[in-house]
Amino acid sequence: MTTRSIRPPPASSREVARWALFLDIDGTLLDIAPSPYAVVVPKGLGATLSTLRDRLGGALALISGRALSSIDSLFQPLELPAAGQHGAEIRLASGNVVRVWVSPGSLHALRQEVDRVVADLPGVVVERKSMGIAVHYRQVPEVSGELARRLTDVLARRRRGFHMMCGKFVFEVKPSDADKARTVEVFMRHDPFVGRIPIFVGDDRTDEDGFAAATRLGGHAVRVGTMPPGMSGYRLGSAGEVRAWLERLVNSGTRA
């Protein structure tokens, strides 16, 4: 199998000015760290994103499994249009936040069950989000199979309204109604995204829904890292390459 290394869509200023850019965060904008709390936002990235947002007429959104509050604290003082928790909470360019509904009772019960089944697995980190749970095992990858089995059992008993996705060294339990495809569709129905060409940049299986939606809406997927077999589209090798690409877009004199 060969991995194709293809640069993202060409950056002529007229084309770029028509894009709506959707950027995943961990592994895409930021290098992966040992824990989600340990990531580093490189100096200058906020300024690059801010300039690019202006040049795209505001049509730049961050889309992440992180909570909106976590996204904002990473990039403060910048507050971009953003979707947190895989689209369970979406902040539009207007500042309005759209949330899917989650039963507080179900979420509480689910958290207790997840805490219980991982209690004897040291190194597993349970991240409680307002609308879901992320179970990280980056420090103990050998528990992957056992952890998956236990969490699948929990969801089989308590799956109403929730769904589990596998990411890189993380199992994400999220509201069934939240996914990155719906998120792209919601943004594309609102100004300033309406009528633009969606470009979705992501590094993980959790981004596949976003890639599919962007492509379906006439845009492009840009995968970061290795290209899965049988996939087409564009590729950048690493988060560092993504940041360099964004800087090239800014420096190419693109004007919205």
Query: Can 26 be counted among the known catalytic residues?
Result: no
Which of the following is catalytic: 24, 72, 204, 209?
24
CB of 238 to Mg ion, least distance (A): 12
Cβ proximity to Mg ion: between 203 and 209 the closer is 203
Nearest residue to Mg ion, using CB?
Answer: 27
Distance between CA atoms of residues 223 and 42, nearest Å: 21
Q: Which residues in 198-217 contact Mg ion (CB under 5 A)?
A: 203-204
Cβ proximity to Mg ion: between 55 and 66 the closer is 66
Choose one: 23-31, 94-102, 128-136, 158-166; the region binding Mg ion (CB under 5 A).
23-31
Choose one: 17-25, 107-115, 132-140, 243-251; the region binding Mg ion (CB under 5 A).
17-25
Distance between CA atoms of residues 75 and 44, nearest Å: 11
CB of 42 to Mg ion, least distance (A): 16
Verify binding: residue 24, Mg ion, rule CB under 5 A. yes
Among 27, 81, 87, 132, indicate the residue that binds Mg ion (CB under 5 A).
27
Size of the site for Mg ion (CB under 5 A): 5
Joined tokens for residue 216: 């379906």
Distance between CA atoms of residues 15 and 179, nearest Å: 28
CB of 211 to Mg ion, least distance (A): 12
CB of 224 to Mg ion, least distance (A): 8
Task: Name residues whose C-beta falls within 8 Å of residue 237's C-beta, 6 or more positions apart in sequence.
Answer: 5, 224, 225
Among 16, 20, 26, 137, indicate the residue that binds Mg ion (CB under 5 A).
26
Choose one: 21-29, 84-92, 100-108, 169-177; the region binding Mg ion (CB under 5 A).
21-29
For every residue of the chain, DSSP letters joined together read ------PPSP--HHHHTTEEEEE--BTTTB---SSGGG----TTHHHHHHHHHHHTTT-EEEE-SS-HHHHHHHHTT----EEEGGGTEEE-TTS-EEE----HHHHHHHHHHHHHHHTT-TT-EEEEETTEEEEE-TT-GGGHHHHHHHHHHHHHHH-TTEEEEEETTEEEEEETT--HHHHHHHHHTSTTTTTSEEEEEE-SGGGHHHHHHHHHTT-EEEEESSPPTT--SEEESSHHHHHHHHHHHHHTT---
Cβ proximity to Mg ion: between 56 and 224 the closer is 224
Q: Which residues in 145-204 contact Mg ion (CB under 5 A)?
A: 203-204
CB of 201 to Mg ion, least distance (A): 10
Cβ proximity to Mg ion: between 124 and 224 the closer is 224
| Residues at the contact surface with Mg ion, assessed by CB under 5 A | 24, 26-27, 203-204
Please give the positions annotated as active site: 24
